[in-house]
């Protein structure tokens, strides 16, 4: 009974968030494409081209003889936060990443851990790929709860959350991870040389971190589709800074004061907010309240410079000062999503339709032409909100 109710809520949450994805990504594309799209945009016509039908130009595809598309690569790495105990999930996720995507492009991997990786972990992970693999240790002060946090208050909050069955409500390591992903991963020494990253996660403790639904989940991820074009080059050439496949609602109990902190930041630094921002993704009332929509941070392709820039750095600092990562349980998914929506331009946020991806129990199965020539093995009917019409929401 309880399980059924949970699924019902999940279904609702997904339908509603899909509505946002569709209207939002539609908006973003409408601006970036042709005159006729812009005209449709103005007239509110329903005949707009859905984003997944706008083809990726031929030159981005890998050709068997060339090895990578156009013989060039972006300055990018695949990043994975993992622990020694996650090895089997890591291997399975990474093998799929190699088979479906990275064998064609040979992007390097960076693994990060708050404890040293074991020799066994390093050996097995390195055997899966012929790309460069690096293993990094997270500095203590990027991971652990800072000394200025009032531990009495933090303990009280964790106890309350445990009482109220908030997922990971009692966990300090979980909070450390959310804070690390929010404000520190992009500062890691091993990521300094890179501009773009693709984050991959494998472990439920680390991963499910930042979403609230307590489902029977498994630690592995699945890539459903061959990706034959280089997603990093799309990011680079089209000046995108944040890419996603799924969006969801955040659990209110984990972020009671987050939006107040966001509003006080905007008041303090109005000039840091992008004039062409995606506030409409975050708020249905012009910024007064947060609708709790966020991009699913278990899948992200992004520009590290978005996080390293002045606006987001100040934003993270401002949030961190409030202590909400420990006095509440702020997740990196809403923090990244709010950051991307406020500091990037709307059209710099990219919906990767063609990347079929599942992390239990959520999945994105590409629609349309992506299925041709045996590239995908998921059922395109098994996707959130396939039948939802685009409702003409302008995203303002």
Ligand X SMILES: *[C@@H]1O[C@H](CO)[C@@H](O)[C@H](O)[C@H]1NC(C)=O
Q: In angstroms, give the least distance from the CB of 325 to ligand X.
A: 16
The residues in 70-89 that bind ligand X, with binding defined as CB under 6 A, are: none
> How far is residue 263's CA from residue 277's CA, in Å, rounded to a whole number?
14
- The least CB distance from residue 147 to ligand X, in Å, is 12
Binder among 36, 150, 239, 394 for ligand X (CB under 6 A):
150
Cis? peptide before 301, omega within 30° of 0: no
Q: Which is nearer to ligand X, 53 or 153 (CB)?
A: 153
- Say if CB 73 and CB 42 are below 8 A apart: no
Please, what is the minimum distance in Å from the beta carbon of residue 141 to ligand X? Answer: 21
Residue 6, token pair as written in the block: 């949970």
Residue 151 Cβ vs ligand X, minimum distance, rounded to whole Å: 8
Question: To which H or E segment does residue 70 belong?
Answer: none
DSSP 205-234: HHHGGG--------S-EEE-B---B-HHHH
Region of 21-29, 152-160, 280-288, 312-320 interacting with ligand X (CB under 6 A):
152-160
Catalytic residue selected from 98, 300, 328, 347: 300
* Beta carbons within 10 angstroms of residue 20's beta carbon: 22
Q: Segment near ligand X (CB under 6 A), from 148-156, 239-247, 265-273, 291-299?
A: 148-156
Q: What number of other Cβ atoms are within 10 A of residue 369's Cβ?
A: 13
Asked if residue 152 binds ligand X (CB under 6 A), the reply is yes
> Is 143 or 327 the residue whose CB approaches ligand X more closely?
327
Nearer to ligand X, 94 or 154 (CB): 154
Spatial distance between the Cα atoms of 282 and 24, rounded to a whole number of angstroms: 10
- Helices (runs of H) and strands (runs of E) counted in the chain: 15, 12
C-alpha 239, offset from chain centre: 18
Question: Which CB, 155 or 391, lies closer to ligand X?
Answer: 155
Clarify whether 300 is annotated catalytic. Answer: yes
Residue closer to ligand X, measured from CB, 149 or 279: 149
268 binds ligand X (CB under 6 A): no
Applying CB under 6 A, the site for ligand X has a residue count of 4
- As measured in angstroms, the least distance from the Cβ of 157 to ligand X is 9
Give the residue, chosen from 132, 153, 192, 386, that forms a contact with ligand X under the rule CB under 6 A: 153
Q: Does 155 bind ligand X (CB under 6 A)?
A: no
Candidate ranges 24-32, 69-77, 146-154, 279-287; the one touching ligand X (CB under 6 A): 146-154
Residues 345-364 binding ligand X (CB under 6 A) are none
Of 169 and 366, CB closest to ligand X: 169
Three-state secondary structure along 121-147? Answer: HHHHHHHCCCCCEEEEECCHHHHCCCC
Comparing C-alpha atoms, which of 318, 305, 85 is closest to residue 203? 85
Rounded to whole angstroms, the Cα distance separating 12 from 10 reads: 5
Give the residue among 83, 273, 271, 99 at the shortest CA–CA distance from 180: 83
Least separation, in Å, of the C-beta of 210 and ligand X? 25
- Cα four-point dihedral sign 235, 248, 319, 167: negative
**Active centre residues (catalytic):** 300
Residues that bind ligand X (CB under 6 A): 150, 152-153, 156
């Amino acid at each position: 009974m309880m399980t059924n109710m949970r699924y019902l809520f999940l279904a609702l949450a997904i339908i509603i968030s899909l509505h946002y994805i569709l209207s939002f990504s539609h908006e973003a594309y409408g601006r970036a494409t042709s005159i006729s799209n812009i005209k449709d945009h103005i007239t509110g016509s329903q005949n707009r081209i859905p984003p997944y039908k706008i083809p990726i130009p031929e030159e981005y595809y890998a050709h068997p003889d060339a090895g990578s598309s156009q013989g060039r690569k972006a300055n990018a790495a695949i990043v994975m936060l993992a622990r020694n105990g996650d090895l089997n999930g890591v291997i399975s996720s990474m093998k799929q990443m190699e088979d479906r995507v990275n064998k064609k492009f040979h992007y390097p991997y960076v693994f990060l851990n708050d404890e040293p990786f074991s020799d066994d972990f390093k050996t097995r992970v390195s055997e899966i790929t012929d790309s460069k693999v690096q293993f990094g240790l997270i500095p203590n002060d990027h991971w652990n709860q800072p000394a200025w946090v009032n531990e009495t208050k933090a303990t009280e909050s964790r106890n309350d959350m445990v009482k109220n069955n908030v997922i990971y409500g009692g966990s300090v390591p979980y909070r450390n991870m959310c804070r690390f992903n929010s404000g520190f991963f992009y500062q890691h020494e091993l990521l300094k040389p890179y501009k773009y990253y693709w984050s991959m996660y494998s472990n439920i403790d680390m991963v499910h971190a930042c979403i609230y639904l307590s489902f029977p989940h498994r630690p592995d991820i699945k890539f459903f589709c061959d990706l034959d074009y280089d997603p990093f080059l799309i990011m680079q050439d089209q000046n995108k800074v944040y890419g996603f496949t799924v969006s969801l609602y955040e659990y209110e109990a984990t972020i009671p004061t987050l939006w107040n902190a966001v509003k006080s930041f905007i008041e303090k630094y109005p000039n840091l907010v992008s004039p062409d921002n995606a506030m409409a993704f975050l708020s249905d009332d012009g910024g007064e309240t947060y609708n709790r929509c966020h991009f699913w941070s278990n899948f992200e392709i992004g520009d590290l410079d978005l996080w390293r820039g002045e606006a987001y750095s100040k934003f993270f600092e401002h949030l961190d000062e409030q202590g909400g990562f420990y006095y509440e349980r702020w997740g990196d998914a809403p923090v990244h999503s709010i950051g991307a929506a406020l500091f990037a331009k709307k059209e710099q946020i990219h919906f990767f339709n063609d990347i079929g991806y599942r992390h239990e129990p959520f999945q994105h199965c590409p629609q349309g032409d992506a299925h041709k020539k045996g590239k995908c093995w998921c059922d395109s009917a098994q996707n959130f909100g396939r039948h939802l019409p685009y409702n003409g929401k302008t995203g303002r």
